[in-house]
Amino acid sequence: MNTILFHDLGEIEYGKAWDLQEKLMQKGLHIKAERYNNPTNEDEPLTQNFLLFCKHPPVYTLGKSGHLENLLVSDSRLKELHVSFYKTNRGGDITYHGPGQIVGYPILDLEYFFTDLGKYMRSLEEVIIRVLKSYDVEAGRLPGSTGVWLEAKTPRARKICAMGVRCSRWITIHGFALNVNTDLKYFDYIVPCGIKDKSVTSLAVELGHVVDEVEVAARLRYEFSQVFEANIVSYNKLFDEF
């Protein structure tokens, strides 16, 4: 069984979290290159797998295939709203991160799991679907779109979890953002994920009350271990890596 090292970053600025992911990816890529160049050296270290949870101050992020026109406000308005903005190297279009949301960044070497990026995305979705089901919220997928949706095949379709990843030599970064107690007004200033005819929701809206985010994080961690058939262990030496 694979081991995934877990660390909760708490609240962290988006750029710092992104930089950390890039460093972990580059370290993994270096290890893989060394093993490839020295295949008979059994002493070469193996890549490590990480799962990072965090929360971000308000920020809009635009994927590499996204369209800037899906940001509906000016730079000056962003400053008024105290929202930062990043163009990223993940897939997907524009989304929002902020308080009340649980963001998950798996830095996995998929060669330990399965070398199928589509399966990876479906597996991330499955984690979220299972967590929502534990709250008696039925969720699913929208054909042709990533992420997790409620009533996906109806006019009331609404997204509760956005996803976007980058993968290099089967090492992943970026991940998912689950709306738990998120202030949904921030989605009014963008076209979420570039989809104009669908809305956004949160677990709190669906249940009608504020939800314990610590409990949701624990359920996410458990379901991640089940879906990826991995042993997830707490890791407190993350920043000692660099």
Pick out the chain residues at pLDDT < 50: none
The token pair that represents 196 in the structure block: 């104009």
- Whether 181 maps to a domain, the answer reads yes
Note whether residue 126 is domain-resident.
Answer: yes
On whether residue 143 sits in a domain, the answer given is yes
Q: Which contiguous run of DSSP H or E holds residue 26?
A: helix 14-37
pLDDT digits (tens, 9 = 90+) for 24-63: 999 999 999 888 788 777 667 789 999 999 999 999 999 9
The pLDDT assigned to 239 comes to: 77
**Is residue 180 a part of any domain in this protein?**
yes
pLDDT for 150: 97
* 151 φ/ψ sector (left φ>0, alpha ψ -120 to 50, else beta): left
Start-to-end CA distance of the chain, whole Å, equals 27
Neighbours of 180 (CB within 10 A): 24
Q: Which domain holds residue 35?
A: 2-237
On whether residue 83 sits in a domain, the answer given is yes
Domain presence at residue 22: yes
The residue count of the chain comes to 242
Residue 242 lies in a domain: no
Q: Which two tokens stand for residue 38?
A: 């020295």
Residue 95 lies in a domain: yes
User: Could you give the residue numbers annotated as active site?
Assistant: 193
Residue 49's CATH number:
3.30.930.10
Residue 233 burial (CB count, 10 A): 11
Domain count of the chain? 1
Specify the pLDDT at position 195. 83
The predicted structure's pLDDT at residue 116: 97
